[in-house]
């Protein structure tokens, strides 16, 4: 290669890096404004908001688990406004049918007496779908979301129908009341990029909530993104570089959580009945990049893997009966795995 060619290649590489850095800074500033707008209506749930934004930036779906009254529905509605996405809400009930979600073909009679089928779209044909109390519907109805969440299209009456782009499902679940509910099947849980546990706010935040929501009017958030800019941010996430140390940490973490694997500890083999599949590693690879972008950083770090381990793994693992009887929790198992992987990465 000539000296001129080498110089040009180096210059192109530098220009490409500068352009990427500029995109990261611009998107990070826009995400900071989105956080501010969301905080106007969702108070005291910063971690929940960040994890939900990480899910959207990763192009995935999110399962929000928490007691009633913790602003889960409010969060999804606010996200629809701030991201500029076309939203819809489905209140899941035991008598809900798949056609109530997907839509159905109806036979119509024209003025000339001819008949033809017309497809009436269900609420799933939107960009941001809120599946409220998803575990209240039967498994048959829950399964109507499976194809949509993975393939971004549905099949009705033998015809493939594409969903809008982007398409995200934000589902809520009440962990307290289990009577009359149907646990989500493992295959569907695996389709959720992250499980976000929504906890009670602290005293200062709850005081702010009470004062902000009991007056004559509330501040309304403004749109910061639209569908096109959100898609651009999702593409940017996939362009962020990931260091080998972070990739190895993700693989070590996921593989050590599977009972029977060579990397699994004695505790995992005894306590865990089934562990995470490759989708868990894919979810972490996207989520750590999205978390870095949310903070305006060029690349993810080991800290991002640690922070996202629970949300990415908890719904993709299950404890055996004996472990549950002993009082063990998935959180403690995951935390132990994270400590092991962190020590291994620091020693390398």
Half-sphere exposure of 18 (CA within 13 A, CB side): 6
Q: Which of 131, 132, 136 is nearest to 177 (CA)?
A: 136
Burial class from Cβ neighbours inside 10 Å (0-12, 13-18, 19+) for residue 147 reads middle
Q: What separation in angstroms does the CA of 165 have from each of 53, 86, 234, 238? A: 17, 10, 12, 17
pLDDT at 282 (0 to 100): 96
Sequence spans of domains, the chain? 33-237, 240-348
pLDDT at 139 (0 to 100): 84
pLDDT at 177 (0 to 100): 66
Number of helical H runs and strand E runs in the chain: 15, 11
| Interaxial angle between packed helices 227-239 and 278-294, expressed in degrees from 0 to 180 and rounded to the nearest 10 | 110
Two structure tokens written together for 213: 């929501």
Please state, in angstroms and rounded to a whole number, the distance separating the CA atoms of residues 39 and 190: 29
Is residue 98 within 8 A of residue 141, CB to CB? The reply is yes
Q: Where are the alpha helices (DSSP H) in 45-113?
A: 46-57, 72-83, 98-102
| 3 state SS of 103 | strand
Two structure tokens written together for 280: 């868990």
pLDDT at 4 (0 to 100): 45
* Domain 33-237 part of CATH 3.30.1340.30: no
Q: What separation in angstroms does the CA of 187 have from each of 91, 132, 146, 232, 315? A: 21, 19, 8, 29, 11
Tallying the residues shown for the chain, one arrives at 348
pLDDT at 266 (0 to 100): 86
| 3 state SS of 319 | strand
Is residue 118 within 8 A of residue 105, CB to CB? The reply is yes
Q: Which residue has the tokens 């793994």?
A: 313
Q: Where are the alpha helices (DSSP H) in 262-313?
A: 266-271, 278-294, 302-313
Strands (E), the chain: 62-66, 87-91, 103-109, 115-121, 128-132, 153-156, 159-162, 168-173, 194-198, 272-274, 318-319
pLDDT at 1 (0 to 100): 47
Question: Which CATH superfamily hosts domain 240-348?
Answer: Magnesium chelatase subunit I, C-Terminal domain (1.10.8.80)
Which stretches of the chain drop beneath a pLDDT of 70?
1-15, 177-180
pLDDT at 170 (0 to 100): 95
């Amino acid at each position: 290669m000539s000296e001129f060619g080498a110089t040009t290649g180096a210059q192109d590489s530098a220009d490409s890096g500068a352009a990427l850095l500029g995109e990261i800074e611009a998107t990070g500033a826009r995400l900071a404004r989105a956080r501010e707008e969301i905080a106007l209506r969702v108070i005291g749930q910063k971690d929940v908001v960040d994890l939900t934004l990480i899910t959207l930036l990763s192009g995935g779906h999110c399962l929000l688990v928490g007691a009633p009254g913790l602003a889960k529905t409010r969060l999804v509605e606010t996200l629809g406004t701030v991201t500029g996405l076309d939203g819809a809400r489905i209140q899941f009930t035991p008598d809900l049918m798949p056609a109530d979600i997907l839509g159905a073909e109806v036979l119509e009679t024209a003025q000339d007496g001819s008949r033809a089928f017309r497809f009436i779209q269900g609420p799933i044909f939107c960009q941001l779908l809120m599946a409220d109390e998803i575990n209240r519907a039967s498994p048959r109805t829950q399964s109507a979301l499976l194809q949509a969440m993975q393939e971004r299209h549905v099949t009705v009456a033998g015809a493939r129908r594409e969903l809008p782009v982007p398409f995200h499902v934000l589902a809520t679940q009440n962990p307290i009341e289990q009577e009359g509910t149907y646990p989500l099947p493992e295959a569907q849980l695996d389709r959720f990029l992250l499980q976000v546990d929504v906890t009670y706010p602290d005293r200062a935040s709850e005081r702010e909530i009470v004062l902000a929501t009991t007056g004559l009017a509330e501040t309304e958030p403004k749109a910061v993104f639209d569908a096109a800019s959100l898609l651009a941010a999702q593409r940017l996430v996939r362009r962020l570089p990931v260091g080998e140390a972070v990739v190895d940490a993700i693989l070590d973490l996921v593989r050590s959580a599977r009972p029977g694997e060579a990397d699994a500890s004695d505790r995992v083999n005894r306590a865990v009945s089934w562990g995470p599949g490759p989708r868990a590693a894919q979810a972490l690879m996207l989520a750590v990049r999205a978390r870095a972008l949310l903070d305006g950083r060029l690349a993810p770090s080991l800290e991002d893997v640690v922070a996202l381990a629970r949300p990415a793994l908890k719904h993709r693992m299950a404890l055996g009966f004996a472990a549950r009887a002993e009082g063990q929790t998935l959180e403690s198992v995951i935390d132990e795995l994270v400590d092991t992987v962190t020590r291994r990465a620091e020693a390398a």
